[in-house]
Amino acid sequence: MQEVYNGIWREIASRIRPHLSTDAFQRWFAAIELVEADEAALTLRVPNSIYQFWIESNYLNVVESAARSVLGSPRSLKFHTANDSAVGPVANAYAELSEPATPKPPDIQTRLAILRKKAEEFQLDVTEEVLAFLAQHVRTNVRRLEGALTRVGSYQSLRGQGCSRQTLEELLRDILREEAKKPVAIDQIQQQVAEHFGIRPADMTAKGRGTNMVFPRQVAMYLARRHTKASLHEIGENFGGRHHGTVLHACKAVSVRMKNEDQFRQTIAGLDTKLDR
Per-residue pLDDT reduced to its tens digit, 101-147 = 444 567 888 888 888 888 887 777 888 899 999 998 888 777 788 88
Helix spans in 100-141 (H): 108-121, 128-137
Distance CA 25, CA 35 (A): 19
To the nearest whole percent, how much of the chain has pLDDT over 90?
17
**pLDDT per position as a tens digit, 1-47:** 777 788 889 889 988 988 877 877 888 898 899 998 888 889 999 88
Backbone angles phi, psi at 46, to 5 degrees: -120, 155
Alpha-carbon distance of 153 to 132, in angstroms, equals: 14
The mean pLDDT value for 88-113 works out to 54
3-state secondary structure of 112: helix
| CATH 1.10.8.60 intervals, the chain | 108-180
* Predicted pLDDT at 261: 87
Alpha-helical (H) ranges within 138-210 are 142-159, 165-171, 173-180, 186-197
Task: Say whether domain 108-180 belongs to CATH 3.40.50.150.
Answer: no
**Distance, first Cα to last Cα, the chain:** 47
Select 186-276's CATH number: 3.50.50.60, 3.40.640.10, 2.60.40.10, 1.10.1750.10. 1.10.1750.10
Residue 178, pLDDT score: 76
Q: How confident is the model at residue 100 (pLDDT cuts 50, 70, 90)?
A: very low
pLDDT digits (tens, 9 = 90+) for 172-203: 888 888 787 777 899 999 999 999 999 998 99
Range list for CATH 3.30.300.180 in the chain: 2-89
Q: Where in the chain is the domain with CATH 1.10.1750.10?
A: 186-276
The domain 2-89 is placed in CATH, from the list 3.30.420.340, 2.40.180.10, 3.30.300.180, 3.30.300.10, at: 3.30.300.180
pTM summary value: 0.47
pLDDT at 95 over 70: no
- What pLDDT is attached to residue 30? 87
The 10 Å Cβ neighbour count of residue 27 is 16
